[in-house]
Amino acid sequence: MTLLFVLTVCLSFLALLATPSFATNQANSCRSYCGNITIDYPFSLDYGCGHPGFRDLLFCMNDVLMFHISSGSYRVLDIDYAYQALTLHDPHMSTCDTIVLGGRGNGFTVEQWRAPYFNPTPDNVFMLIGCSAESPLFQGFPGKHLPCRNVSGMGCEDYYGCPAWSLIGHKKVGSVYGSGPPECCAVAFEAIKAINLSKLQCEGYSSAYSLAPLRVDGAGGWSYGIRVKYSVQGNDEFCRACEATGGACGFGTDGVNQLCMCGSFNSTTNCDSESSASGKMTLSLAVALAGSFIYMATWIMGS
């Protein structure tokens, strides 16, 4: 009976030591919230957390999440981790209800070093409003060949049907380029790579996206905002391995190299590799201890 008891105590002691409880406690050290939006890898609100390509990007002010890039600040409406997409809103963007002119809108331009991580989705349409005839948009496109086109079934013809256009008075421009540039020109981000209103000499812009594969009738039913796809460029394995071993993904003070934060230490791989040495040591110590307990127990019982 006593032997059984001693054995049980020894075994539970062993199991306790073998569990990497220190690591699991740290798993959520980089995860946070802003309002009701979850901030998780590759994003973060703290320097040193998340992916280095996403550093100095998100700011939380009074529960409002802001996304800051070279063209300006945007409100983040949603982060879709499963589809790896962000939905942004620019207060100076035109919608179906208002047309904002005067070049006040941000457009969408990311810093060159950050460009590989962000791309507006292919089904996001940018509608450039009031662009000058000298705009780079219309250069190299002689005659009727405008770069303007419909994107995912969304374009300016439908957008002109919005109440905002009747307020400012949309002049019907003929389809022949030569009677002046169109008042609105719809493009996909891929076609021009940067929506810079001053470079494109445009007065304003709107952006819309379609989430459902269904075609919505009329521009009144579109979702207005900028839908951006993000990616970590195949560096995902590092973080997956780190999180699988109970760590939190981050990066070093150089702002380049990824780190796995394991609570009591930082690892350049994951929380198992560097702790394995000390882990094995505690385990063998436990085995030795348990062994001596059993030996003592049998010795006591035997005598």
In the complex, which residues of this chain contact ligand NAG (CB under 6 A)?
36, 48, 70-71, 78, 109, 149-150, 155, 157-158, 196, 198-199, 250, 252-253, 259, 261, 265-266
Q: What is the nearest approach in angstroms of ligand NAG to the Cβ of residue 290?
A: 31
CB distance 42 to 230 below 8 Å: yes
- The tokens describing 161, both together, are 């049907």
Q: Which is nearer to ligand NAG, 235 or 293 (CB)?
A: 235
Alpha helices per DSSP H over the chain: 2-18, 21-24, 156-159, 163-168, 189-192, 197-200, 236-244, 271-302
Q: What is the nearest approach in angstroms of ligand NAG to the Cβ of residue 46?
A: 8
For residue 42, cis peptide bond before it (omega within 30 degrees of 0): yes
Q: What is the nearest approach in angstroms of ligand NAG to the Cβ of residue 246?
A: 15
Q: Which is nearer to ligand NAG, 250 or 297 (CB)?
A: 250
Please state, in angstroms and rounded to a whole number, the distance separating the CA atoms of residues 27 and 18. Answer: 18
Q: What is the nearest approach in angstroms of ligand NAG to the Cβ of residue 165?
A: 15
Q: Which residue has the tokens 């089904």?
A: 123
Q: Which is nearer to ligand NAG, 6 or 69 (CB)?
A: 69
Q: What is the nearest approach in angstroms of ligand NAG to the Cβ of residue 213?
A: 16
- The tokens describing 77, both together, are 């409406």
**SS3 at position 261:** strand
Residue 204 vs residues 103, 130, 189, 228: alpha-carbon distances, Å: 5, 7, 16, 20
* φ and ψ of 269, to 5 deg: -120, -85
The residue of the chain with the least Cβ separation from ligand NAG equals: 48
Please state, in angstroms and rounded to a whole number, the distance separating the CA atoms of residues 45 and 194. Answer: 26
Q: What is the nearest approach in angstroms of ligand NAG to the Cβ of residue 69?
A: 8
Angle at 241 between CA 121 and CA 253, to 5 degrees: 80
Q: What is the nearest approach in angstroms of ligand NAG to the Cβ of residue 8?
A: 36
Q: Which is nearer to ligand NAG, 13 or 122 (CB)?
A: 122
Q: Which is nearer to ligand NAG, 7 or 29 (CB)?
A: 29
Q: Which is nearer to ligand NAG, 20 or 48 (CB)?
A: 48
Q: Which is nearer to ligand NAG, 279 or 294 (CB)?
A: 279
